[in-house]
Amino acid sequence: MAPVITIDGPSGSGKGTIANRLASRLGWHVLDSGALYRVLGHAAAEAGVSLEDEDRLADLALEMDVRFHDGKVFLNESDVSLAIRTEQAGNAASRVAALGEVRAALLQWQRACARAPGLVADGRDMGSVVFPDAAVKVFLDASPEERAHRRYNQLIEKGLSANLESLVSEIRERDDRDRNRSVAPLRAPEGALVVDSTALSIEEVLERVLERVREILPELRC
Ligand code: DC
């Protein structure tokens, strides 16, 4: 199997940015696993499947044709990149992600993303469940306020509407659900480099991650 670097952490901790920067620096593939759960939440709404119907959601997860291309996300050939980034889609994602059958249905799809020359996988359970043998594991965190602020800026930049106060409470609610669910709860995997990015710039976080990568995979010369 190709080498894997996992980047786990809560929403808005900067995982996506760091995963993308690292992947382009190494020339590796990148997996945004959160987008998969978001696409499933979106597909369920379109198909009129209840977010509590675990069996049907798991079937939908196996049937849906998801593709990542050029920074965009496609569901059955239609571009859903913007639709899956709303707070509503994030909440639906968090609900479907709490279901064991859904997670099991998406497991092989995610593992198949580990192709040469390597994969940077971004999510909640990348280092703990999906790629337990990953060469390098990173766990990124930041305070809920800082994460809400970052999400606010992202949404505004994309021309979407946002309210900072409700973002803070939604982030706390989602954290709670992601950390306390019985299947694959969000937590730092054993042996992970834990970085609190609250007061760090993207460059500083990336440098800490690169230090760890150089230590473990010196042959990459990054
Ligand atoms: O990273 P994100 O905000 O796009 O993730 C959306 C939701 O999906 C989030 O509430 C947690 C869930 N998720 C998960 O349970 N496991 C993953 N590997 C990735 C995301």
Domain coordinates in residue numbering, the chain:
4-213
Find out whether the peptide bond into 117 is cis, omega within 30 degrees of 0.
yes
Ligand 1 touching residue 123 (CB < 6 A)? yes
> Does the pLDDT at position 185 exceed 80?
yes
Ligand 1 centroid – CA 91 distance (Å): 9
pLDDT category, 177, cuts 50, 70, 90? confident
Residues 68 and 31: their CA atoms lie apart, in Å, by 9
| Backbone Cα Rg of the chain | 17
Query: What is each CA distance from 213 to 6, 42, 95, 131, 209, in whole angstroms?
Result: 11, 35, 33, 16, 6
Ligand 1 touching residue 33 (CB < 6 A)? yes
pLDDT category, 1, cuts 50, 70, 90? confident
CATH superfamily, domain 4-213, is: P-loop containing nucleotide triphosphate hydrolases (3.40.50.300)
Angle, CA of 121, 157 and 141, to the nearest 5°: 40
Residues 138 and 71: their CA atoms lie apart, in Å, by 22
Ligand 1 touching residue 11 (CB < 6 A)? yes
pTM: 0.93
pLDDT at position 158: 84
**What is the percent of the chain with per-residue pLDDT over 90, rounded to a whole number?**
84
Ligand 1 centroid – CA 179 distance (Å): 11
> Does the pLDDT at position 198 exceed 80?
yes
Note the pLDDT tens digit of each residue in 126-142. Answer: 999 999 999 999 999 99
> Does the pLDDT at position 87 exceed 80?
no
Best substitution site from 13, 80, 94, 179 to test ligand 1's pocket, by max atoms within 8 Å of Cβ?
94
At residue 78, what is the residue type? Answer: S
Backbone angles phi, psi at 69, to 5 degrees: -150, 125
DSSP lists the bridge partners of residue 139 as: 8, 194
Ligand 1 centroid – CA 16 distance (Å): 11
Q: Which of 52-61, 64-73, 155-164 has the lowest mean pLDDT?
A: 155-164
Query: What is each CA distance from 165 to 14, 106, 179, in whole angstroms?
Result: 20, 33, 21
pLDDT at position 174: 85
Contact 197, 149 (CB under 8 A): no
Ligand 1 centroid – CA 37 distance (Å): 6
